[in-house]
Structure 1
Amino acid sequence: MHKNLIFVFFLIASFMDLKAQAYEYTIVTSIESVVPMGIGRSRIISSEEEINYENFTTSRTEDNKKQNKSKRSDAKVSNFDETKILNFYSATGINFQNVASNDAFLSSKVNKMIEEGWELAFVTSGVESDAGKGDGTGIFITRFIFKRLKS
């Protein structure tokens, strides 16, 4: 009976410790151009600094109209990594070698993040593609959301 109580105590303590762990998150974004003939710009972007979103948030209620005095230009980070990657299209259409090359770039970035103690938590993507005759623009954007235990 005594051994069972000790086991239950350690089991509960380990679950409590897991809940008490705090994580920090970071986002890496890939932007891949779908503009033909290499005209577009494709990049992997990761910020190297933090911004407190509250400094740029305005709260609006009937009783309280707190206005934020921060300018939009103050919200821009100056320290970020920008990795050039390849566009999806060439003059003849989809360039599969470019797609494979971008996959290699992204795999390298993800593996580096994991080496640094980050864990890939979520991936989300979207596309703004060519809207038809005369448009000729578009991007494929993917956000890789990483987390790790706060130190």
Structure 2
Amino acid sequence: MKKLFIVLAISLFAFMDATAQVEYKIVTSVESIVPNGLGRSRIISANETKDYKQFTSTQTEEDNTRNKSKRSEIRVKGFDETKLLNFYNLGGIRFQNIAANDALIESKINTMIEEGWELAFVTSGVESEGGKGDGQGIFITRYIFKRNKQ
């Protein structure tokens, strides 16, 4: 009897977890790697949602109709922007700035976890200086959080 009760309890919890709906939230950090500290670095987090279907069109050989949405309709105007420091200053790479950025990003992650979010994935990429005279570059990281919908 005990074994049957345990199996039923485990099954019930597994079923409840399988039917839970999950929501995701993306937080992006953009850190400038522009020489001489001329770039801008930020943590960005959208406060509104968009339905990608409104801005998607299907391309076929027969019918080449496109979604005529304007870029201004896609833009999100409600978002949080947290200032970060640039990786470089006039003296070169600034390790103190990297440590300061880490502290701010850590604070954001800890706040999200306190709000019930779980850090599910992290992905990053770099677009660095492309050669003589380019002077452009960013280090971008996306933190993907998830939680069960309430």
Q: TM-score range by the shorter chain?
A: over 0.9
Shift in alpha-carbon separation, 1:12–1:63, aligned structure 2, 3 A: farther
Q: Which residue of 1 aligns with 2:144?
A: 145
Distance 1:85 1:69 in 2: 36
Q: Secondary structure at the match of 2:36?
A: helix
What's the CA shift for 1:133? 1.2
Q: Give the AA of the match of 1:70.
A: S
Q: Which residue of 1 aligns with 2:126?
A: 127
What's the CA shift for 1:79? 0.3
Q: Which residue of 1 aligns with 2:40?
A: 41
Q: Which runs of 5+ in 2 are unaligned?
A: none
Q: Secondary structure at the match of 1:68?
A: coil
Using the aligned pairs only, state the percent identity. 59
What's the CA shift for 1:55? 0.4
Q: Give the AA of the match of 2:68.
A: K
Distance 2:18 2:141 in 1: 30
- Structure 1 residues 2-61: Cα deviation after superposition (integer angstroms, max 9, x where no partner): 222222111111111111111100000000000122210101000000000000010234
Distance 1:130 1:67 in 2: 34
Q: Which runs of 5+ in 1 are unaligned?
A: none
Q: Secondary structure at the match of 2:134?
A: coil
Distance 1:113 1:3 in 2: 40
CA RMSD of aligned residues (A): 1.5
Question: How many equivalent pairs are there?
Answer: 150
Distance 1:80 1:27 in 2: 12
Shift in alpha-carbon separation, 1:67–1:137, aligned structure 2, 3 A: closer
Q: Secondary structure at the match of 1:59?
A: coil
What's the CA shift for 1:85? 0.6
What's the CA shift for 1:145? 0.4
